[in-house]
Amino acid sequence: MEPGEHLFRRESGRMVATLTRIFGVHNLALAEDVVQDAFCRALEVWKFRGMPENPSAWLMVTAKNRALDVLRRERTARTFAPELGRLLESEWTLAPAVEEIFAPNAIQDDQLRMMFSCCHPRLLEEAQVALVLHILCGFSVSEVAAAFVSSHAAMQKRISRAKKVLAGSQKLFDIADSADFAARLPAVLRALYLLFNEGYHGASAESAVRADLCREAMRLAALLREHPLTATPATFALSALMSLHAARLPARLDASGELRSLFDQDRSRWDAHLVEEGQKLLDLSAHGPELTEYHLEASIAWVHATAPSAEDTDWGMIVSFYDKLTAIRTSPVVALNRAIAIAQRDGPQHGLEEIQAIANSERLAGYPFYHAALGEFQFRSGRPDAAREHFRAALALARNAMERRFLEHRLVACQPALSSSVARE
Amino acid sequence: MSEFVYLYRGGETNRSPERMQQTMQKWMAWFKELGEKGHIKEPGHPLERGGKLVKGKQKTITDGPFAEAKDVIGGYTLVEARDLDQAVELSKGCPIFDVEGAVEVRPVMKM
């Protein structure tokens, strides 16, 4: 194993999902304990004997054996998964039943069940995302807290409340047998979208955290694509969107670690393989009449990903996608991005007018890039004084050192040539 | 070359997955280093913390652990070294010292 590789993160989601299937969702905490224990035991042995060829398989076997121990020891004291109740009562049926649940394709379904269960309608979106990250992606509470720039205590509270709701649901969400499957799928997609976005645009400054979140969102989206029920056009569109955005990740920071906007990224550093994959996924999303926000966002990302430069981008096409997106989901951030595209197409003055026309723009007041966009347009319209005001406002809202430095550079760029006396002040 | 047994005593009891993984990587690196220099006769095994103690003429059976947590033997390794001094010197690389554990170095008695 490579040092630094997160074996537990990679494996625990599958193990918890499968054990919860056996123990029942009300015993979620027990499943988590057993997984931790199995993991720690395996590592203790590997410490002496070396890593096996296939650590994932070993971990699963360890988890299975621990599960059997628990079932034998506690079957009179606890109730386990109701749908397995009978099978667990006799030793004759216990082992084969557990064996079946640990079959590879069953394990995959368990992860889907868990993903859908985490997106419980009684939970707020941010709680759903935190739960997905904690249970399915094996992030510890402090890692989830770091990802969302929240305190450990606050995240601990949020996650344990969410777990209570999850444990209180009668059983795991069965995607093949639930009337509200169609209603729950959008919530799952949304959670993965938010998870990806947190990695891509989020407030956490640490680039490793960001990349991890994007990767996890992509991994879970791939699971959805592999099951016939969840491989919908919207799932493909969301996956396309993630690939096309992720393709640009390597260029978001330049060689000196500074944040680069889309307009001045080194496009040769974009990941051609991911662009290609995104394009394929976008093709696959085009089956059927469904046109979701993910289709439109993916299409916008595709135009960017295939444009040779910011100037040679088909901004007209991008504006038209934003128009359609606005019709599906009106949000101030979408409106802001649309205004930026219009400024590119028609000039900064038009961009300014669009921004001023945004309804609920007060909801953007706390968003640094709203002020930065205003600053940019004022600057390009030849009003550096007004531009500086906006960049200062943006700077005051910057969420991390990288954003701060980026905005400071913009602020300096629209400074009039300083006379030496002013500079010394 | 003579043979020695390392008995690992005490160390970490708080086992979070992240820490366990770090710990494992340190141990593997240490074992690798010893192995490459030809000092590992048999890497040994970790031991369960609990067990039974059978004692006395009456063969009374009691449940383990048999020592305080800081003294419980958590595993063993058979090493080869020139002499006790070298075996002791080699043991100093053991990651157990990061977590307040100890290594007991015992020469294997030979005729």
Q: Per-residue pLDDT tens for A57-97?
A: 899 999 999 988 888 888 777 778 776 777 777 777 888 88
- CB distance from A47 to chain B under 8 Å? yes
The pTM score is 0.83
* Residue of A8, A34, A47, A140 to mutate for B, most B C-beta atoms under 10 A: A47
Q: Is a pLDDT exceeding 80 seen at residue A160? A: yes
Contact A50 B43 (CB under 8 A): yes
Helix ranges restricted to H, A50-84: 55-74
Predicted local confidence at residue B68, as pLDDT? 80
Q: Is a pLDDT exceeding 80 seen at residue A178? A: no
- CB distance from A182 to chain B under 8 Å? no
Chain B residues touching residue A49 (CB < 8 angstroms): 43, 45
Contact B43 A51 (CB under 8 A): no
DSSP secondary structure code for residue A259 in this structure: B
* Residue of B7, B13, B16, B24 to mutate for A, most A C-beta atoms under 10 A: B24
Q: Is a pLDDT exceeding 90 seen at residue B86? A: yes
Nearest to A45 among B21, B23, B46 (CB): B46
Nearest residue to A133 via CA among A125, A252, A201: A125
Predicted local confidence at residue B49, as pLDDT? 84
- CB distance from A50 to chain B under 8 Å? yes
- Cα nearest neighbour of A142 on chain B: B18
Predicted local confidence at residue A421, as pLDDT? 40
* Residue of B18, B21, B31, B99 to mutate for A, most A C-beta atoms under 10 A: B21
Chain A residues touching residue B28 (CB < 8 angstroms): 46-47, 50-51
Pick B2-107's CATH classification: 3.30.70.1060, 3.30.70.3340, 3.30.70.20, 3.30.870.10. 3.30.70.1060
What does the buried/exposed string (b/e) look like for B16-29 if buried means 16 or more CB atoms within 10 Å of the residue's CB? ebeebbbbbbbbbe
User: What residues contact A303, with CB distance under 8 A and at least 6 apart?
Assistant: A313, A314, A317, A318, A321
Percent of chain A at pLDDT exceeding 90: 50
- Cα nearest neighbour of A47 on chain B: B24
Q: Is a pLDDT exceeding 90 seen at residue B83? A: yes
- B104 forms bridges with which residues in the sheet? B7
pLDDT in tens, A254-274: 888 788 888 889 999 999 999
* Residue of A35, A43, A141, A212 to mutate for B, most B C-beta atoms under 10 A: A43
Chain B residues touching residue A47 (CB < 8 angstroms): 23-24, 27-28, 31, 46, 75
Q: What is the mean pLDDT of residues A283-301?
A: 94
Chain B residues touching residue A59 (CB < 8 angstroms): none
Nearest to B43 among A40, A43, A48 (CB): A48
- Cα nearest neighbour of A5 on chain B: B21
User: What residues contact A309, with CB distance under 8 A and at least 6 apart?
Assistant: A267
A85/chain B closest Cα distance in angstroms: 31
State how far the Cα of B22 lies from the Cα of B7, in Å rounded to an integer: 21
Contact A36 B24 (CB under 8 A): no
Interface predicted TM-score (ipTM) of this complex, two decimals: 0.89
Q: What is the mean pLDDT of residues A188-205?
A: 86
Predicted local confidence at residue A17, as pLDDT? 92
State how far the Cα of B89 lies from the Cα of A24, in Å rounded to an integer: 52
Nearest to B75 among A6, A8, A48 (CB): A48
State how far the Cα of A134 lies from the Cα of A128, in Å rounded to an integer: 10
With contact defined as beta carbons under 8 Å apart, do A45 and A172 qualify? no
- Cα nearest neighbour of B21 on chain A: A43
Predicted local confidence at residue A400, as pLDDT? 82
Predicted local confidence at residue B11, as pLDDT? 82
State how far the Cα of A303 lies from the Cα of A275, in Å rounded to an integer: 11
- Confidence band, pLDDT 50/70/90 cuts, at residue A205: low
Task: Please confirm whether the linkage preceding A368 is cis (ω < 30° from 0).
Answer: no
Predicted local confidence at residue B34, as pLDDT? 95
Nearest to B15 among A12, A40, A50 (CB): A40
More confident residue, A423 or B96: B96
Chain A residues touching residue B75 (CB < 8 angstroms): 47-48
Q: Are strands B40-46 and B52-55 parallel, antiparallel or unpaired?
A: unpaired
Percent of chain A at pLDDT exceeding 70: 94
- CB distance from A49 to chain B under 8 Å? yes
Domain chopping of chain A, boundaries: 1-102, 111-207, 232-313
Predicted local confidence at residue A267, as pLDDT? 93
Contact A46 B28 (CB under 8 A): yes
Nearest to A7 among B21, B28, B43 (CB): B21
Q: Tokens 């040769």 map to which residue?
A: A268
Domain chopping of chain B, boundaries: 2-107
* Residue of A48, A141, A142 to mutate for B, most B C-beta atoms under 10 A: A48
